[in-house]
Amino acid sequence: MVVEISDIETVAVIGSGQMGRGIAAVAALAGYETYVNDIDESQLEEANERIEWSYEKSVENGAATESEVDDALERLSFTTDLEEAVGDAEFVTEAAVEQQSVKKDIFEDLDEAAPEDALLATNTSGLNITQLAETTDRPEQVVGTHWFNPPMLMELVEVIMTEHTPDGVADTAEALIESFDKTPIRCKIDIPSFIVNRLMRPYGEGPAWLVHRGEHSIEEIDSAMKYMERFPMGPFELADFTGGIQIRVEGEEDHLEDGRPMSYDTTVCPILHQLYDKGRYGRKADAGYYDYDERDEPQIAVDAGQGFDTLLVWAPIVNEAAKMVENDVASVEDIDTGARLGGNWPMGPLEKADEVGADVILEKLTEVASRHEDTNKLAETLPCDLLVEKATNGETFY
């Protein structure tokens, strides 16, 4: 029997770090009895303090009343005892460190401790959810939920299905997310990076190749995408802010060995390896694509990107979005919603395709692909069949 939204009264969150405590704060504020579990008592104490602080900010900002916050705090419980945390929970979400082996161990424990009919979720930005599901005796009750940081403020949550996940379980997970006053989008196949981060990859990777080949400068591209296209950050500024250089390089081997559908088979752009080898990981290291020293933000001239063709960046992103539609990973609407809410982009990539025309995107994408000497990279960048079809027939995505 599939748990339905009407059955859920208690939520358990495993892991009290930044994401776990944020999810717990949202759940309790939405009216659910909420348990937060961690093996570290001091981590739980800090989580409690941080949740109280975030609630105070919510009251100050008018997002919640003092009465709602008081009630939410009454619904929160913190414990190092896993069985106490999950014993009465209908929905359990793991929010531990982003390491497959750690999450696998937790899921084995959850399978033993959680009620037989409880749904189990993992908060991950791209790890293999199918493997986690298969460590349990209830793979059909496991679903992915990729929250964005910080959970209290970010509206989007990706709900990821595996081959074992029935529609009813995904429906329940989405209904729960909606009851949290968040917006779910559905990733119907467990692919590496899911939806939003899959779009982010060409946003960072494509420009890196343009710089690596000496065709354009970092500031030129960042200025164009930030001030002309109205992205919150240019691709290089964003990579420095998120630690993208370190994440991409250190995750390269895992991506190449990932056997899920639509797995990557191309290596990271050499410029990332060069920066990584110098310890230039981004803002946290005081140097990445930019030097920071005493500055928190790079100095990017507003007019530095004048004349840069922003479709050189947009076209590979549109292609990646079209591949997801072609392979029934996600709907057109969910992909664009993910870009707007998860990335704070000015528009979704498929909206952009309709704006400029699929034929224009196709022409630009072919130009981009032809610049790659590596056969695998060339193949990855070539336009997918659906994009060619849209261009040939003069069709739009909407």
**Interatomic CA distance for residues 274 and 255, integer angstroms:** 19
The tokens describing 181, both together, are 């006053």
**Interatomic CA distance for residues 59 and 326, integer angstroms:** 44
164 is catalytic: no
DSSP string, 343-390: H--SS-HHHHHHHH-HHHHHHHHHHHHHT--SHHHHHHHSPPHHHHHH
Among candidate residues 125, 193, 223, 319, the one labeled active-site is 125
Q: Could you list the beta-strand ranges (E) of the chain.
A: 10-14, 33-37, 76-79, 91-94, 119-122, 142-147, 156-160, 183-187
37 is catalytic: no
**Interatomic CA distance for residues 197 and 126, integer angstroms:** 8
Report which residue type is found at 206.
Answer: G
Beta carbons of 343 and 199 less than 8 angstroms apart = yes
From residue 184, alpha-carbon distances to 151, 160, 212, 312 in Å are: 13, 10, 37, 30
Among candidate residues 158, 205, 219, 320, the one labeled active-site is 158
Beta carbons of 169 and 7 less than 8 angstroms apart = no
- Name residues whose C-beta falls within 8 Å of residue 342's C-beta, 6 or more positions apart in sequence: 148, 154, 156, 158, 195, 196
Among candidate residues 16, 197, 223, 319, the one labeled active-site is 197
From residue 396, alpha-carbon distances to 136, 184, 225 in Å are: 43, 24, 24
**Interatomic CA distance for residues 284 and 219, integer angstroms:** 20
Phi, psi of 193 (to 5 degrees): 75, -5
158 is catalytic: yes
Among candidate residues 58, 123, 128, 146, the one labeled active-site is 146
User: Could you give the residue numbers annotated as active site?
Assistant: 125, 146, 158, 197
